[in-house]
């Protein structure tokens, strides 16, 4: 990689242990105000970077790499460039990493991205999973500072543990740090750090925070923000604040300042703040942080101040978490080999399907099995799309579509996903869920997240390590519409890999089994 052209204050803060602050701005809006902000922070050492979103407010935001280069030139500071995998392929990621390198940019936050606003009528939308993006970016440019996202603000066992296991997989794939999704539940910030440390991961944690005003709360609750939870109690408190002369703005800044100081108490490496559109607003926040530190000099005093800000007019404390949600630290029953505390076992149909499919797999497809010895010589000679191969493709679809929803992708990963087809995920994610689920429901709102099923079966079968360690590459575009039975015995397609833990000397190993 080329030598970065701009001072990287984020990297320096993470290295020295100084609490890092970045300001997130959207690239969907006009660029001139972004550049004006970049110019204003140039000589302010308290602000380490501007972070530039990607396809967050529309499907066609400004190119974050081009904008990032301009921001770096104006601010004299390395920006954090977000890169979303929605409607993008692995080749696009590789080209964009090369572009960033050529422009002297070396800090990226790689995310899968939320669902597209407008579904094209002529084609399905493919999503490059963030795990695959991290793995590819790390191998193309080892010197990059790569961030990945994680959402601890989940309150059902399946979606919560899936988030944490996928976060661990992201670290194994190449992430240097994790950035939490937006939330207001202090216990979950603690839980995320506790979980990762218990599993042996020591990556820096940065919290994504939002200046939450009454107007923003109403908008989020009305139209939704994937993965973000604003409870009725918190919304009620915000509406009470809205009746104040400033419309609740002072309380919003004080709440944000308390969050930041409390996260520093917890050992977080920094915060990335959104919702601050101007340098004046940033100065307001920084002044409030100094006031909070002065008025509440201990972590216990800051905790009490936080609760006071949640006090409703009737004397109750607004709850920032849904009632009855999973709390791993409270349960204290997480075992290193099986990180699950609750009742998330497989349902009868899920268990039966796993057993049937696993038996077929062992008999017919695993290397050395009777079926493999009989089938391999014949299938290796076939074309996976034409002639007898086309007939086999039809047979495969007839058998597997009712059982697992087969999409004829030509690159079957069922043995690694508890025989739940990842292509039945609307985003086609095979390495774990996105952050957009709520109460176990898919971001698209029309089904349960398929990764809940994968978790339940894997938990019962003792295969949870796969959800943390096994990297499943994206399906090659050329494989679609071909018979996976043929391609399996021909040894075609990318290999499933088992990722070593960060900091070890191990290399990714071939985890391929049968298909």
Distance CA 338, CA 462 (A): 8
Half-sphere exposure of 195 (CA within 13 A, CB side): 31
- 77 pLDDT tier (thresholds 50, 70, 90): very high
Q: How confident is the model at residue 511 (pLDDT cuts 50, 70, 90)?
A: low
Indicate the pTM of the whole model.
0.93
| Helix residue ranges per DSSP H, 365-505 | 370-379, 388-404, 450-461, 464-469, 484-490
- In this structure, of 86-90, 296-300, 330-334, 448-452, the range with the lowest mean pLDDT score is 330-334
Q: Is the pLDDT of residue 508 over 90?
A: no
Determine the distance from the C-alpha atom of residue 151 to the mean position of all C-alpha atoms in its chain, rounded to a whole number. Answer: 7
Average pLDDT score over residue span 170-178: 98
Please name which of 115, 73, 110 lies closest in space to residue 92, comparing C-alpha atoms: 110
515 vs 416: CA distance, rounded Å = 9
Element (H, E) at 281: helix 279-295
Whether 21 shows a pLDDT value over 90: the answer reads yes
8-state DSSP, 223: H
Instruction: Write the CA distances from 513 to 267, 353, 450, integer angstroms.
Output: 41, 18, 22
Q: Is 50 exceeded by the pLDDT of residue 335?
A: no
C-beta neighbour count of 330 within 10 angstroms: 10
Q: What is the pLDDT of residues 180-218, one digit of tens each?
A: 999 999 999 999 999 999 999 999 999 999 999 999 999
Q: Over the stretch 87-109, which tens digit does the pLDDT of each residue have?
A: 999 999 999 999 999 999 999 99
Which of the residue ranges 48-57, 73-82, 343-352 would you say has the lowest mean pLDDT? 343-352
Round to whole Å and give the CA distance between 159 and 227: 11
Q: What is the mean pLDDT of residues 485-495?
A: 85
Burial class (CB in 10 A: 0-12, 13-18, 19+), 468: buried
Three-state DSSP at 471 gives strand
**Cα–Cα distance measured from residue 155 to residue 326, given in angstroms and rounded to the nearest whole number:** 5
d(C-alpha 45, C-alpha 48), whole Å? 7
Rg (CA), the chain: 24
Please state, in angstroms and rounded to a whole number, the distance separating the CA atoms of residues 325 and 160. 10
Share of the chain above pLDDT 90, in %: 73
Q: Which of 5, 179, 178, 2 is nearest to 79 (CA)?
A: 5
83 or 330, which is more confident?
83
- Is-contact 418 461, C-beta < 8 A? yes
Task: Look at residue 43 in the predicted model and tell me its pLDDT.
Answer: 95
Question: Would you say residue 342 has pLDDT above 60?
Answer: no
Angstrom distance (rounded) from CA 237 to CA 248: 10
- Average of pLDDT values for 65-77? 97
Confidence of residue 243 (pLDDT cuts 50, 70, 90): very high
Q: Which of 296, 230, 229 is nearest to 258 (CA)?
A: 296
d(CA 503, CA 493): 29
Contact assessment for residue 259 and residue 195, using Cβ atoms and an 8 Å cutoff: no
Question: Which range (37-41, 93-97, 438-442) has the least confidence?
Answer: 438-442
Q: How confident is the model at residue 477 (pLDDT cuts 50, 70, 90)?
A: confident
Nearest residue to 434 via CA among 421, 451, 413, 419: 451
Residue with tokens 């692995």: 90
Residue 1: what pLDDT?
54
> Which residue in this structure is represented by tokens 């697992």?
404
Decide if pLDDT at 248 tops 70.
yes
Q: Please name the residue that has the structure tokens 């602000």.
A: 47
Whether 294 shows a pLDDT value over 70: the answer reads yes
277 has pLDDT over 90: no
Give dist(CA 164, CA 27) in Å, integer. Answer: 29
**108 SS3 class:** strand
Average confidence score pLDDT of the chain? 91
């Amino acid at each position: 990689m080329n030598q970065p052209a701009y001072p990287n204050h984020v990297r320096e803060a993470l290295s020295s242990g100084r609490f890092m602050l970045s300001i997130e701005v959207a690239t969907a809006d006009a660029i001139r105000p972004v550049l004006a902000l970049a110019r204003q922070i140039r000589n302010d050492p308290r602000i380490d970077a501007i972070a530039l979103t990607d396809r967050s407010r529309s499907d066609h935001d400004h190119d974050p790499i081009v904008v990032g280069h301009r921001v770096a030139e104006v601010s004299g500071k390395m920006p954090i460039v977000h890169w979303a995998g929605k409607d993008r392929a692995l080749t696009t990621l590789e080209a964009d990493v090369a572009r960033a390198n050529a422009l002297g940019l070396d800090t990226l936050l790689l995310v899968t991205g939320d669902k597209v606003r407008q579904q094209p009528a002529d084609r399905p939308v493919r999503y490059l999973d963030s795990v695959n993006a991290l793995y590819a970016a790390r191998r193309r440019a080892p010197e990059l500072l790569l961030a990945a996202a994680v959402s601890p603000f989940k309150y059902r066992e399946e979606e919560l543990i899936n988030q944490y296991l996928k976060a661990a997989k992201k670290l194994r794939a190449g992430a240097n740090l994790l950035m939490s999704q937006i939330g207001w539940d202090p216990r979950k910030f603690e839980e995320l750090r506790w979980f990762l440390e218990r599993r042996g991961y020591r990556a820096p944690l940065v919290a994504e925070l939002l200046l939450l005003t009454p107007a923003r709360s109403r908008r989020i609750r009305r139209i939704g923000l994937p993965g973000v939870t604003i409870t009725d109690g918190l919304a009620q408190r915000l509406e009470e604040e809205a009746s104040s002369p400033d419309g609740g703005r002072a309380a919003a800044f004080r709440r944000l300042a308390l969050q930041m100081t409390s996260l520093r108490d917890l050992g977080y490496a920094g915060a990335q703040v959104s919702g601050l559109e101007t340098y004046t607003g940033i100065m307001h926040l920084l002044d409030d942080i100094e006031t909070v530190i002065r008025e509440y000099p201990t972590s216990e005093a800051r905790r009490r101040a936080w609760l006071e800000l949640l006090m409703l007019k009737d004397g109750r404390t607004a709850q920032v978490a849904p009632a009855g949600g999973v709390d791993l630290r409270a349960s204290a029953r997480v075992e290193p080999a099986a990180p699950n505390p609750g009742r998330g076992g497989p349902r009868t149909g899920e268990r039966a399907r796993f057993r049937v499919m696993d038996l077929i797999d062992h008999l017919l497809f695993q290397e050395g099995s009777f079926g493999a010895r009989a089938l391999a010589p014949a299938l290796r000679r076939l074309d996976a799309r034409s002639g007898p191969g086309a007939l086999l493709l039809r047979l495969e679809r007839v058998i597997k579509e009712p059982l697992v929803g087969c999409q004829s992708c030509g690159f079957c990963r069922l043995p690694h996903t508890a025989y739940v087809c990842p292509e039945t995920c609307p985003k086609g994610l095979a390495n774990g869920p996105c952050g957009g689920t709520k109460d176990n429901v898919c971001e698209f709102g029309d089904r349960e997240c398929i990764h809940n099923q994968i978790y339940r079966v894997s938990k019962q079968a003792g295969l949870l390590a796969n959800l943390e360690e096994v990297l499943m590459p994206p399906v090659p575009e050329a494989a679609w519409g071909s018979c996976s039975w043929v391609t399996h015995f021909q040894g075609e397609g990318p290999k499933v890999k088992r990722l070593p833990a960060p900091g070890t000397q191990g290399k990714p190993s071939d985890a391929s089994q049968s298909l």
